[in-house]
Chains A and B, each alone.
Chain A
Amino acid sequence: MSSAPPRSTDERLGVHPFPHRHLLGIAGLAPHEILFLLDEAEQWIALNRSTEKRDDRLHGLTQINAFFENSTRTLLSFEIAGKRLGMDVVNMAVAQSSVKKGETLIDTAITLNAMRPDVIVIRHDASGAVRLIADKVDCPVLNAGDGRHEHPTQALLDALTIRRRKGRIAGLTVAICGDVLHSRVARSNILALGTLGADVRVVGPPTLLPPHVERMGVTRFTDFDAGLEGADVVMMLRLQSERMDGAFVPSPREYHALYGLTTERLARAAPDALVMHPGPMNRGVEIASAVADDLNRSAIPEQVEMGVALRMACLDVLTRRQRGVEGWA
């Protein structure tokens, strides 16, 4: 009934292939915009595999990584991506920040903005927090994970990994398995892979599947074996340790028995099914080591590699407007 005021974050900019100021989520991206980012990432894979891993097109720009929630691999991935493009990269970790001293998120955003960064990468434990900050700053913002809401670069790197290994995404059956309820990776992947034409399933114990998740266009399975049947891609999710001991599932060993991916279980999926995991893995809980380490099946190290390339593409594309790149101004 009430009409929302126009939001700067939804503002569409010009007619170029990625007309968004920020990357806050997969929601709102058109299929061709997603594919554009994947295509842009391809060039960086080659660079990252060469000896001279350097392209100075973002030289002189400042990237702030503001991580309000602990992270090792995503922070590192964004830091390497920024540095390989020649940016000055600064990390603000929550332990060293004034957030602990009671400063509000908005004040932190205003402070960060006053440092005149050219791009800000944010992770926060509250859904919607990254958008809140994006509304208050003048430069592009990349969402590196907000609560249970979205983790768009993870979904994009997963899509890139699948596309390179399978040659396509449309028509594939992808089973996203485990703690979907608390997972921003699952939400972004449901949106990204669904938009690109995959048949997405969510598989897990009923206590860890979000209510009405079918309305996001997925099929819901609580029987792990049934959910794996014929899947082309099996994407396992991390189960946080605080949720294993009686809160959402009775115990880690029961979880492994019912929902852990083993070699025997994987046999139900397509013969060439790809196994993925956003990391960090709980070996012996959601995934058995034999599956995780199977080079023919597991794309887990490749996901990390694609992550750097994909994030380089996002940093490059989102800063084109302010850099005055031809056709993007």
Chain B
Amino acid sequence: MTLAILNGRIITPSGVIEGGVLCRDGRIEAVGAFDVPADAERIDARGKYVAPGIVDVGVFAIDMPAFVAGGITRALLMPDQSPPLDTVALIQRAAAAGKPQVWIHPLAAATRGLHGTDLAEVGLMARGGATGIATGRDWIADSAVMHRLLSYAGALGLVTVSHAEDGGLARGAVATEAESATRMGLPAAPAEAEALAVQRDLLLAEISGAPLHFRQVTTARALDLIRAAKAKGLPVTCGITPAHFLLSDVAMGDFRTFARLSPPLREEADRLACIAALADGTIDLICSGHDPRGPEAKRLPFSDAEPGMAGAETLLALSLALVRNGAITIERLFQLLATSPAQRFGLPAGAIEPGAEADLLIVDPHAPWRIDSEKLVASAGNTPFDGLPVEGKVMTTIKGGTILG
């Protein structure tokens, strides 16, 4: 099958170029100007960007309609499933769940049952298709366990994905210690719970030499630690979701449980530090943290509600705000959404170049729409951005040369 996308602005590793992308048999054959074969299906991308498909690191659910609507062509699945992904069989099943559509790359549970005590069979799971390993929703509190884990996984060449919140400080907390939490009477932990966790994990990564990725880093102090660690040459990376660079803790007002997230929303100064870190390269990637939760988990008092947001289909529209505000360029945005995550986890994706797999999205950067939790195609509409008008809509998502939607 041949597909010719024409008249677009193509985001390539060497910059934005005007022209098209020719896909044949699942791969990119030509970029820019080319002769359109007679049998090719044509897509006119006039006024739109053609970009690499998003590689979303750390989703909590396999939610195909939301991924397709969001331009996500590969998703790294967190091990926090029921049951947790801590055996080879479960990894194999998860890895097969998406193909040939959106590819699911499972992250293996770092510890058995995600209990944070005994190492899971991460070597066997890696052979079975795990793309990396993850501590899950929680931090591993026991430093000895984390030390052994990093040493072991590092030797296997596996990236460990950690959740950066000190378990002791954050226990029972549902918000960041700040004026909002005080006024609302919510149990809260200091924002430094993040830097404390990051610092320990960085030291353990340094002595073990293991590659480490923090799924989300959301505070100025923790970002400073990561900036310094990168300057020292440590193999550390981190991600963030749009919620933490667009919202602060005031979004919890009226006890809106859609704004109950883990880590919790931070104060405005931290939000601004996140945007600076996206611009200066301290933050390596933007992810959706897609975690659809129905009313049974969200229509509860704030402290009793489960954390998490449905983020897949709003990921690109919300991230485009960074480009419009001048914080980053469009090329940098797709580095954050596709190129960097693919490179970090060794996936053959994330760049539009001849020979690469044809994982693409076409986005109209100016198409206006309003985020409406009732109308999201995700399996649940728990978004803290409900009601927000945004610009930028994914028009087409293509995986391996096949149009998914």
Contacts and interface: CB of A to CB of B under 8 A. Distances in A.
A105 interface: yes
Contact of A2 (B177, B188, B251, B304): B251
B392 interface: no
Contacts of B246: 1
A181 to B, nearest CB: 9
Interface in B54-78: none
A212 B183 CA distance: 10
B385 interface: yes
Contact of A184 (B185, B371, B385): B185
B182 A2 contact: no
B301 interface: yes
Contacts, number: 87
Between A126, A127, A146, A211, the greatest number of chain B beta carbons within 10 A of the residue's beta carbon is seen for A127
Given A1-B388, A2-B388, A129 B182 contact: no
Contacts of B247: 1-2
Contact of B254 (A4, A129, A150): A4
Interface residues of A, number: 30
Interface in B262-300: 295-296, 299-300
Chain A at the B interface: mostly helix, strand, loop or mixed? loop
Contacts of B300: 104-105, 132
A129 B387 CA distance: 23
B162 to A, nearest CB: 26
Contacts of B184: 127-128, 149
A72 interface: no
B301 A150 contact: no
B47 interface: no
A147 B300 CA distance: 13
Interface in B227-263: 246-247, 251, 253-256
B302 interface: yes
A2 B384 CA distance: 8
A105 B301 contact: yes
Interface residues of B, number: 33
Name which of A27, A104, A147 has the most chain B CB atoms within 10 A of its CB. Answer: A147
B386 interface: yes
B182 A212 contact: yes
A216 B178 CA distance: 11
Contacts of B187: 148
B322 to A, nearest CB: 13
A187 B185 CA distance: 8
Given A126-B301, A211-B177, A27 B385 contact: no
- The 9 tightest CB contacts between A and B, nearest first, are A128-B255, A148-B185, A126-B301, A149-B185, A129-B301, A211-B177, A210-B182, A127-B185, A215-B179
Interface of A: 1-5, 7, 27, 104-106, 124, 126-129, 131-132, 146-150, 184, 187, 210-213, 215-216
Given A1-B247, A148-B187, A211-B177, 17 more contacts: A2-B371, A4-B253, A4-B256, A4-B387, A5-B386, A27-B183, A106-B299, A127-B186, A128-B303, A131-B255, A146-B185, A147-B301, A148-B186, A184-B185, A187-B185, A211-B178, A211-B190
